[in-house]
Structure 1
C-alpha cells in the first residue's frame, strides 16, 4: 500500500504568540513544572522571577524592604523601588524582550537579563495582577493566562513608590501543587545573605542579614565549625568557609544573587583555588584531603553572565566580563592574596586546618586498601547483580533533556521492586532492591561503606564515592511499606545517607515515596486514598457500599496500578533537615541507644489506630 503523502504548504506554518509558546513549552522558560516537592519546581521559579525584579531595585539603591504573602496557592510581592514606568506596565509583563535591563549601565550585574521572567509568570498564572506606584500615581492591570482581563485607568494614590505583583499559578499547568515553607524560607534567607541591609517580610516572619555569607554558614552548618568561619570580601566577590566534622564537601554558590544550585565555573574555580592556596601555604598535602569536610559559600558578580539554562542554576561563563579576566583567574588571584594573608595572620586557625587535613589524609590512606577490594567485589557483583534495574538516562548526562527527571527507587524485597520495575519509565526511573534490613551505621566510620556489600552497591549505583558531581539520579526515593518494618528500613537508609553522604539530603535529592493505603471503588470510579481522611471522603462521594481494599505492602499493588503512583501523579515527600537540630543530634535521638528522651517521645506520640480496617 502506497504511503499517503502529507502536504506541506503555508497553512502548515503557524506562529505562536508569546503566551501560547510559554504555555505550550513551559520547560524552556521555568525548567520543570513539578508539584512543589522539589526546591527547583516551577512554582518556586515563578516566585523567584518576580522577586528578582524587586531585588534588582534594591541593588540599584531603591527600596530596602520587600513584603511577601503566600496562602491558598496564591502569591503576592510588594517592593518599594521606583515602580515600573506607568506607560510601560502592560508591556513589561506581557511583551517579550521588554525590560529595563538591556541598558547595561543600569543593570550591568543583574540576573534577569533576557526580559522573560514576569512574562512567564503572567502566562502560567490563571490570575495575575500588577500595580505600579510612581510619584502619586498608580497603574493597575489584571490578566489570566497572559490575556488582559481588566485594565484600570491611571489613579491618584498616596502609597509609597514601588511595584505590587499578585499571581496564582494555573492549576491546569501545575497540578496538585503546594508551596513548602522550608523551600521558600531558604530562598528568602539567601536573598538576605547576598543583599545585606535588605529586609524581607514573609507572612509573619522577618528575614535580615548583617554578615552576609558568614551568616549563611553559621545558620546552615550542621554542628559547630572546627575553627571560626573565614570570611573574605573583595570587589565583586565574597567567600566564607570552614571545616566541619562531617564527610563530604558542602558548597553554596551564587552569581549576581542567583543561587547556582548546580555550581558552575565559579564553584569549580573556588574548589581548585582554596586547595591550591592551602597546599602552597603548607608546601604539601593533596587537594582531596584539604577539601574533605569543607563547608563553603562563594558569591561573585559577573557582567552579562551566561547560564546553562533559563532557570540559571549553573554558571557557564568563562570570563568575569566579555573580553575580561577568566572566572578561574579572578577567583584564584583573590584567594591567593586574601586567604594566604589570613593564614599567616591567624596561625592558630592554620594549625587546626592542618590537623584536620592530616586526619583526612590518614583516613583516606586507611581506606585505600579496602576500597580496592570493595571495587573488585562490586564489579563482580554488578555482573550478576539483579538488585539494580538501571534506567537509560542519568542525572550526570548533562546534555540529556530529561536528566532532571531521573530517579532511583530503593525498595525492600523483590515483590515491591517487581511491581515498580514492571510499571516504571525505563528511560528515567531505576530500581534498587534491598535484601533485607540494612545495617545500622550510626557511630560507624566510612570503612563500613566498603565492608558492607549492600552499602557499597548503593554507593556505586549512585556514583557518589568521591563527591556529588557525578550523581547519577536527581531523586533518590525511599520506597518502603507503610508499616513498622518499612519505617525502620527508612530510618536505617536515612542514617546511612546522613552519616556518610549528608550533601545528598542537604541538596534536596532524597525523598520518601507516598503510596496509597486504600483503594475505594464502585462500578464507575476508582479512588486511591493516602490517608484515612481521604478514604472517608471517597466513601461519602462514591455512594453506597463501594469496594474497599487496604494495601498492607507495596508488593500487593499490581504493576498496572503502580504506574499511577510513580508516574504523573507521583506523591513524594522531600527529606528536609531542620535548622533546629544538627545531624548528630537527630541520629543520636533516633538511632543511638535507647534514651529516656526517645522513650518519652514514643509514649507521647503513640497513636492507637481505631480499627481503620473495620469497614474494609
Structure 2
C-alpha cells in the first residue's frame, strides 16, 4: 500500500491575496455563476448590472436624467450624467475594496449596493477596464488590465457634462465563449426604467422610458385583453404594487428591492403573497385556499429600505430587513401587510366590478382544483410506482434543490427523442450533473387542453415528476432543461410540442430562464490532422477552406449518428445552448394559438411567403460530396 503523506501546515501555508487575486480566484462569491451569456443571470450580465447600479443610484439621488449604454460584441460602454466620481479618488473607487460613497448613509440612502465591491469585481474580471470621470469642468481617466492599473491621466480641463463613463471587456479566460444576448440586456434595462419612472436609458441608440412604473411592466408582460380585470396599481411611500389575474396556469411575480430585480424573491415577496391571501380572505370574509387566491395571478412589487440584507453579493434574494434602522421600525412583512390591508381593501370597496371578477376567478380555481383532485391522486400513485423503475429517466447525483451544494446551478436534464439519441447522451454525460429523460415518439399536442391531461398522459406525468414541478418551481430539480432533438422536420416538430407543453402548463419555467435548446453540429469536416465540427453552412465552408484540399465531410442527420465519444465534446464545457426567451410583446395564448391551433389564413400565408428552396446551397453540397468542386 502506498504511503499517504500528510500535508504540512505551517506559516508557509498561510497566503494573503490582494483584492483582485481573490476576486479572480473566487469570482462566484462576487458575481454568482460565470456562464457564457446564454442565461440571464450569467456573470457578464452581472458585470453590466454592477456598473448600472451606480448610475441608477445617482439618478435616485436626483442627479442625471439619462444613461447611455453601448454594446459592441465584447465591449460594453456605460455613461451616466450624475455628479461624477471625485477626481482625486477615481483610481481608488474602482480598485480598493471598502472604498466608496455608499458607506455614508447621508450621501446614499436606500441605494442598491452598500458594500463597495461592485465595480472592483468588474475591473478585476475584465481584460480591459477604463473609468473616466467628468466633474465641474475637469476630468480624469484610468485604465486597467485584470484589475492592474496600466495607465492614468492627470486632471485636465473638460467641456463634457458631469458624470462617469465606464468601458470594460469581460476577460475571455474567465468567461469562456461568452456572448451577450440583446434580449437579456433589454429586459434588464426595462426593469431599471419601470423602477425609475421618467428616467431615459439609451441602448445602442434605442430609447427606453417608462412613465407609469410597475403598471407599464405588467402591461408589457401581459396581453391586457386576456386579463380578468384592469391592472390594479397601488403606490405608497417606499412601496409600489401592480397586480391582476389572467387565465394562465401558475403564478407570475416580479419583485424588486431598492431598484434591484430580486429574481429569487425573498422576505418581501413571501410577505406579499401572505398579505394578498390575508387581505382577500378578510375582504370577502371567506376562508379561501391560498392556492385558489393566487392561481393565475400576475403581480409586481417594489420596495425601498435602508440597509437591506441580501443572501449573496449578486443581490437576487432579500434576507431579513426592516424599513429603516430606526428603533421600532416595522419589518418588511409587516410593512407590506399593512399597506395591502389598507390600499387593496379600499380599492376593492371602490371598484365593485373588479371585486366580482376576483371572486369569480377564485371560485373557478377552486372548482378546477377539486375536479383535478381525483385524477391527480391516481396519477401520482402511478408515477410513484413508475419512478421506482423509471426507464425514461437516467438521473444525476446532484440537484437544484440541494441548497447546500455549490454545484446545483450546473445541473441539467436533457429531453431526448428515441433510444439511440438518449443512449449516446447517457454514455457521454457527466452523471453527477446531467440527467437524461427519453421520450417515446412524438408527445401529445397539448394546446387548448386542461391540466387534467398532464395527469392522464403517462409521458407528461412522468416528465412533470422528473422535474418535480407539480406545485411550482420552488422544488425544481434541474437548473436547465435542455430539449435535445434532431435538426430535421420530426425533431423540430417534437421541439414545438414540448415548448407547447411547457408554455401551456408551466410558463414560469420559460419566464425564469430554465428552458434551452441544445445546438448540435450539422457537419463534421476533417483531414488526417484535424477535426472541425460545424453548426452552420458558414462554419462548414470556413472549415473546408481551412482543411483543404480534400477534407472528409460528414452530414449528421440525427443525434443517434453521433458517437458517445463525439457527444462528449458537445455537452461539456463547450456546450452550445439557445435559451427559449419570451419577447416583451409575447402573449403565450396568442403564440400557441398561432403556431399550434387550427390552421389559420395568417399561418398559411406565413408558410407560403417564407417557403423556399436554396438551390445554390444544394448544388454546392452535392458538388462537395461528389468531389467535383
Tell me if both proteins adopt one fold, taking TM over 0.5 as the criterion: yes
Structure 1 stretches of 4+ moved >6 Å: none
Partner of 1:227: 229
Q: Check conservation: 2:414, 2:482, Cα contact below 8 A.
A: yes
Q: What SS does structure 2 have at the residue aligned with 1:433?
A: strand
Q: Check conservation: 2:73, 2:180, Cα contact below 8 A.
A: no
1:512 to 514, 517, 525: 517
Partner of 2:570: 565
Partner of 1:404: 409
Q: Matched residues in 2 for 1:148 and 1:163: separation?
A: 18
2:335 to 315, 330, 337: 330
Q: 5+ unaligned residues in a row in structure 1: which ranges?
A: none
Note the alpha carbon deviations across 1:162-204, whole angstroms, 9 max, x for none: 1000111111211221111111111001001001121111112
**Deviation, structure 1 residue 614:** 4.7
Q: Matched residues in 1 for 2:465 and 2:360: separation?
A: 30
1:526 to 531, 534, 549: 531
1:482 to 487, 490, 498: 487
Q: Check conservation: 2:265, 2:317, Cα contact below 8 A.
A: yes
Q: Matched residues in 1 for 2:540 and 2:43: separation?
A: 30
5 Å-filtered alignment, 1:84-103, equals 84-103=85-104
**Bigger shift: residues 604-613 or 35-44:** 604-613
Q: Matched residues in 1 for 2:274 and 2:360: separation?
A: 20
Q: Matched residues in 2 for 1:293 and 1:18: separation?
A: 47
Check if 1:589 corresponds to 2:594: yes
Partner of 1:340: 345
Check if 1:249 corresponds to 2:251: yes
**Deviation, structure 1 residue 436:** 1.1
Count of aligned pairs: 616
**Deviation, structure 1 residue 297:** 0.2
Q: What SS does structure 1 have at the residue aligned with 2:103?
A: coil
Q: Check conservation: 1:279, 1:287, Cα contact below 8 A.
A: no
Partner of 2:389: 384
Partner of 2:117: 116
Partner of 2:443: 438
Note the alpha carbon deviations across 1:55-105, whole angstroms, 9 max, x for none: 000111111111111112111111011100100000000111111101122
Note the alpha carbon deviations across 1:272-304, whole angstroms, 9 max, x for none: 110111111112221111100000000111221
Q: Matched residues in 2 for 1:365 and 1:245: separation?
A: 17
Partner of 1:294: 297
Partner of 1:69: 70
Partner of 1:42: 43
Partner of 2:271: 269
Q: Matched residues in 2 for 1:382 and 1:272: separation?
A: 34
Q: What SS does structure 1 have at the residue aligned with 2:129?
A: strand
Partner of 1:316: 319
Q: Matched residues in 1 for 2:535 and 2:446: separation?
A: 31
Note the alpha carbon deviations across 1:251-278, whole angstroms, 9 max, x for none: 0000111001111111111111101111
**Deviation, structure 1 residue 415:** 1.1
Q: Matched residues in 2 for 1:466 and 1:110: separation?
A: 35
Note the alpha carbon deviations across 1:323-380, whole angstroms, 9 max, x for none: 6322211111111111111111111110011011111111111111100011011111
Q: Matched residues in 2 for 1:457 and 1:123: separation?
A: 46
Q: What SS does structure 1 have at the residue aligned with 2:578?
A: strand
CA RMSD of aligned residues (A): 1.4
Q: Check conservation: 1:505, 1:577, Cα contact below 8 A.
A: yes
**Deviation, structure 1 residue 222:** 3.9
Quickly say closer, same or farther: Cα 1:132–1:576, change in 2 above 3 A: same
**Deviation, structure 1 residue 143:** 0.9
Partner of 2:54: 53
Partner of 1:305: 308
**Deviation, structure 1 residue 6:** 4.1
Partner of 1:81: 82
Q: Matched residues in 1 for 2:440 and 2:487: separation?
A: 18
Q: Matched residues in 2 for 1:546 and 1:222: separation?
A: 52
Partner of 2:372: 367
Q: Check conservation: 1:223, 1:582, Cα contact below 8 A.
A: no
Q: What SS does structure 2 have at the residue aligned with 1:505?
A: helix
Q: What SS does structure 1 have at the residue aligned with 2:106?
A: helix
Q: Check conservation: 2:415, 2:437, Cα contact below 8 A.
A: yes
Quickly say closer, same or farther: Cα 1:502–1:613, change in 2 above 3 A: farther
Q: What SS does structure 2 have at the residue aligned with 1:460?
A: helix
Q: What SS does structure 2 have at the residue aligned with 1:233?
A: strand
1:260 to 262, 266, 273: 262
Note the alpha carbon deviations across 1:413-471, whole angstroms, 9 max, x for none: 11111111112122221111111100001111111111111111111111111222222
Q: What SS does structure 1 have at the residue aligned with 2:299?
A: strand
Q: Matched residues in 1 for 2:3 and 2:354: separation?
A: 80
Quickly say closer, same or farther: Cα 1:396–1:3, change in 2 above 3 A: closer
Q: Check conservation: 1:517, 1:530, Cα contact below 8 A.
A: yes
**Deviation, structure 1 residue 246:** 0.9
Check if 1:135 corresponds to 2:144: no
Q: Matched residues in 2 for 1:146 and 1:521: separation?
A: 41
Q: Check conservation: 1:550, 1:613, Cα contact below 8 A.
A: no
Q: What SS does structure 1 have at the residue aligned with 2:150?
A: strand
5 Å-filtered alignment, 1:490-505, equals 490-505=495-510
Check if 1:457 corresponds to 2:466: no
**Deviation, structure 1 residue 106:** 2.0
Q: Matched residues in 1 for 2:568 and 2:310: separation?
A: 35
Check if 1:23 corresponds to 2:28: no
Note the alpha carbon deviations across 1:481-510, whole angstroms, 9 max, x for none: 000000000000001111111111111111
Quickly say closer, same or farther: Cα 1:404–1:4, change in 2 above 3 A: closer
Q: Matched residues in 1 for 2:277 and 2:106: separation?
A: 36
Q: What SS does structure 2 have at the residue aligned with 1:105?
A: coil
**Bigger shift: residues 75-84 or 230-239:** 230-239
Q: 5+ unaligned residues in a row in structure 2: which ranges?
A: none
Q: Matched residues in 1 for 2:496 and 2:223: separation?
A: 19
Q: What SS does structure 1 have at the residue aligned with 2:180?
A: coil
Q: What SS does structure 2 have at the residue aligned with 1:218?
A: helix
TM value normalised by structure 1: 0.98
Q: What SS does structure 2 have at the residue aligned with 1:289?
A: helix
Partner of 2:168: 167
Q: What SS does structure 1 have at the residue aligned with 2:70?
A: strand
Quickly say closer, same or farther: Cα 1:223–1:613, change in 2 above 3 A: farther
**Deviation, structure 1 residue 318:** 4.6
Check if 1:278 corresponds to 2:280: yes
Q: What SS does structure 2 have at the residue aligned with 1:600?
A: helix
1:447 to 438, 444, 452: 452
Partner of 1:416: 421
Q: Matched residues in 1 for 2:20 and 2:355: separation?
A: 56
